Structure 1
Amino acid sequence: MRVMGGDQVEQAVAGTVTLLRTVTQRDWTAVPAGRLEWDCRRTVLHIADDLIAYAGQLAGRARDTYVPFEIALEEGTGNEGLLDVVETTGALLAAAVRTAPRKARAFHPYPFRSANREGFAAMGVAEVLVHTHDVAQGLGLAYQPPAGLSDFVLRRIFPHVRPDSDPWRTLLWATGRAELPGREPVTEWRWYNNLVIPADRLALEGVTPAAAADLAVGGDGGFGWLGGSPAEGTRVGAELVVAKQYEAGTHRPEWGMFALVRHEDDAALGAVGFHGVPDESGRVEVGYDLVEPARGHGYATEALRTLSARALAQDAVRVVTARVDLGNRASQRVLERAGFRRVAEDAENFTYELRG
């Protein structure tokens, strides 16, 4: 899985510039952009603003807030010049995405206070696509971006949105710009970059539906795995994310799957995650595994403690549960060291609980 997003940014920008260069002679300030209050020219400038802002955030590794700058066009810049700016800012974002290390993150407020390189690429592509749609509506132009661009966005920053056969229509619906049969209209929306939870020696990096789909079919999910590949349990968990959560529209990233990435060398050691959102009684089930070379060093215990503590700090959770094979003594010791206690047994499994 080597998709990082630079190519997608450039493809989205190229489609916008090609379309709008056909109407540069028109007055873009004379009509609003779709349902927006902005006129079409202001909306195109907003696209450039977002592209350069995301490039700046990622390249500068902004930590706590937006880097305080914005674009100011030279006086007298026409529509052709504005499109040159969009093209240039798109190239800058693509370059920032391509040159950022895999684990690089920078500030973005929604909703977990940071994004990685694919997150910034997906946000940039989303801004280009939906605002080009707005401008095209205002100017009476036909606009249909490649389905792969919309799918790229949806699987990375709209993990909570159930996919549909038409990714472009789904993205428009998810951003309040279209209707989808059988779904309520969207009046308020936001995207979700992946959540990263820090631990002592590890980072618990949220696995997006895009990464989970790659893991489920034998890929690396964009991670560098210790020993060359993830454990089988990670692939099973990834299939759960894709087939039973994302495709059903029930996936919530904070209750999903997390890769265990070691700080010192950026190696992925395993995965930990929930089987779904907490139930009505406040119970949530957790699972975990490690690649063989990482076992015996306390990594699973560290990850389980970290994730369980975060879960129990939420109002919706009273109990974290786990099931383990009767003969898997190593996994039982992990649970016991993490503070879980055995509460039940059946023909195949022990059940453990950790209560808040």
Structure 2
Amino acid sequence: MRAWGGNRLQEAVEGCVAVLRTAVDRDWRAVRAGRLEWNCHETAFHIAEDLIAYAANLAGRAQDAYVPFDITLDEGTDNTGLLHVIETTGALFAATIRTTPREVRAFHPYPFRSANREGFAAMGIAEVLAHTHDIAEGLGLTYEPPAVLPEFVLTHIFPHVQPGPDHWRTFLWATGRGDLPGRAPVTEWRWRNNLVIPAGRLTLQGITPASARDLVMGGDGGFDWIEGGPFDGTREASGFMLKAYEGGLHQPEFGVFALVRREDGRAVGGMGFHGHPDEEGRTEIGYDLAEPARGNGYATEALRALSDWAFARDDVRTLFATIDRANRPSQAVVTRAGFRQVSEDEEGLAYELQP
């Protein structure tokens, strides 16, 4: 899976500037931007502010807050000059995305207080698409970006939104800017970057729908795998997750995680839930490792961390795992992680863990 974020961001900015350039002779301060309270000039400047702020956080590896600076326009800057600012901040952000290593995460306040380079790219593209739409609506311009751009946003930072028949209309609906047949209007919304859980020598990195699709198709999902990875179980689990996403049943926190070594940023396996908890708070966990990574205690560390994370929630009361009789190493993993065997049948051994 190639890192497309920088190219996609640049494409979004170019589309924004192209459509707004057709109306540079208009008074943008006198026209409200779509459904926003801002006028078109304020909204266009907001695009530039977002682009440079995201670039700064990613380039500066900000961890606890936005980098403390702001930008201003020179007095007398006209609409053409403002578009030049959007082009420039977009170019700086795209270059930052392209040159940032895959394992870098930087601050963003919600929902999990961090994002990687693809997450930042998706957030930037979302800002450009949404606010170009707002300005175009206010000025009476026709604007519709290439479908690949809203698709990139939806599959990276809107994993909780069921895909619709049209990526652009789905994006507008998800951001409170349009309607979709059969769906209630959206009045409050937020995107969701992937969850990352620390686990000793590893991090558990939530797999997005975009990554899941790539894994199902035989790609790497955007991760740097050790030899022998990803194992078949990770691809299969990604397939189940993708079906849940397409069916509108996916809850990102109860999806699939890649197990990534801290020392070198390489993925060694996968772990995740078979679905969200049932009414009794029960949910099943599964996992696998690439063969060269086995026997190092990685699965036990990851399982303990994921279990601790799950039990810190109010909706999880029991974790269970079903393991084949012949798979003694996996039985040892769940036992070391505190699970106890509760039953046995033809399908295998059932293990359970409670807080």
Report the TM range for the smaller structure's normalisation: over 0.9
Moved over 2 A (4+): none
Cα deviation code 1:140-189 (max 9, x no counterpart): 00101000000000000000000012000000000011010111111110
Following the alignment from structure 1 to structure 2, what is the Cα–Cα distance between the partners of residues 343 and 278? 19
Residue number in structure 1 paired with 2:344? 345
Following the alignment from structure 2 to structure 1, what is the Cα–Cα distance between the partners of residues 238 and 214? 8
> Which structure 2 residues correspond to residues 19-30 of structure 1 after superposition, within 5 A?
19-30=19-30
Verify the 8 A CA contact 1:321 1:353 in the aligned structure 2: yes
Residue number in structure 1 paired with 2:68? 68
1:265 aligns with 2:298: no
Amino acid at match of 1:156: H
- The alpha-carbon deviation at position 228 of structure 1 amounts to 4.8
Verify the 8 A CA contact 1:282 1:316 in the aligned structure 2: yes
Residue number in structure 1 paired with 2:297? 298
Verify the 8 A CA contact 1:4 1:117 in the aligned structure 2: no
Residue number in structure 2 paired with 1:163? 163
- The alpha-carbon deviation at position 4 of structure 1 amounts to 3.5
Verify the 8 A CA contact 1:225 1:268 in the aligned structure 2: yes
1:286 aligns with 2:246: no
Following the alignment from structure 2 to structure 1, what is the Cα–Cα distance between the partners of residues 50 and 193? 16
Verify the 8 A CA contact 1:43 1:135 in the aligned structure 2: yes
Amino acid at match of 2:21: R
Secondary structure of the equivalent of 1:350? Answer: strand
Secondary structure of the equivalent of 1:127? Answer: helix
Q: Aligned pair in 2 of structure 1 residues 267, 64: CA closer, same or farther (>3 Å)? A: same
Residue number in structure 1 paired with 2:231? 231
Verify the 8 A CA contact 1:105 1:116 in the aligned structure 2: yes
- The alpha-carbon deviation at position 313 of structure 1 amounts to 1.1
Q: Aligned pair in 2 of structure 1 residues 332, 250: CA closer, same or farther (>3 Å)? A: same
Following the alignment from structure 1 to structure 2, what is the Cα–Cα distance between the partners of residues 87 and 203? 36
Residue number in structure 2 paired with 1:314? 313
Verify the 8 A CA contact 1:4 1:97 in the aligned structure 2: no
Residue number in structure 1 paired with 2:193? 193
Gaps (5+ residues) in structure 1?
A: none
Following the alignment from structure 1 to structure 2, what is the Cα–Cα distance between the partners of residues 264 and 43? 43
Provide TM-score, normalisation by structure 2.
0.99
Following the alignment from structure 1 to structure 2, what is the Cα–Cα distance between the partners of residues 17 and 106? 27
Following the alignment from structure 2 to structure 1, what is the Cα–Cα distance between the partners of residues 96 and 291? 35
Cα deviation code 1:318-353 (max 9, x no counterpart): 101111112111111110000000111121121111
Secondary structure of the equivalent of 1:115? Answer: coil
- The alpha-carbon deviation at position 134 of structure 1 amounts to 0.4
Residue number in structure 2 paired with 1:44? 44
Amino acid at match of 1:341: R
Secondary structure of the equivalent of 2:41? Answer: helix
Amino acid at match of 1:256: G
Following the alignment from structure 1 to structure 2, what is the Cα–Cα distance between the partners of residues 113 and 228? 32
Verify the 8 A CA contact 1:159 1:251 in the aligned structure 2: yes
Amino acid at match of 2:170: T
Following the alignment from structure 1 to structure 2, what is the Cα–Cα distance between the partners of residues 275 and 311? 13
Secondary structure of the equivalent of 1:183? Answer: coil
Amino acid at match of 2:138: G
Following the alignment from structure 2 to structure 1, what is the Cα–Cα distance between the partners of residues 290 and 320? 22
Following the alignment from structure 2 to structure 1, what is the Cα–Cα distance between the partners of residues 110 and 169? 23
Secondary structure of the equivalent of 1:310? Answer: helix
Gaps (5+ residues) in structure 2?
A: none
Cα deviation code 1:250-300 (max 9, x no counterpart): 212211111000011111000110111111101111100000000001000
Residue number in structure 2 paired with 1:274? 273
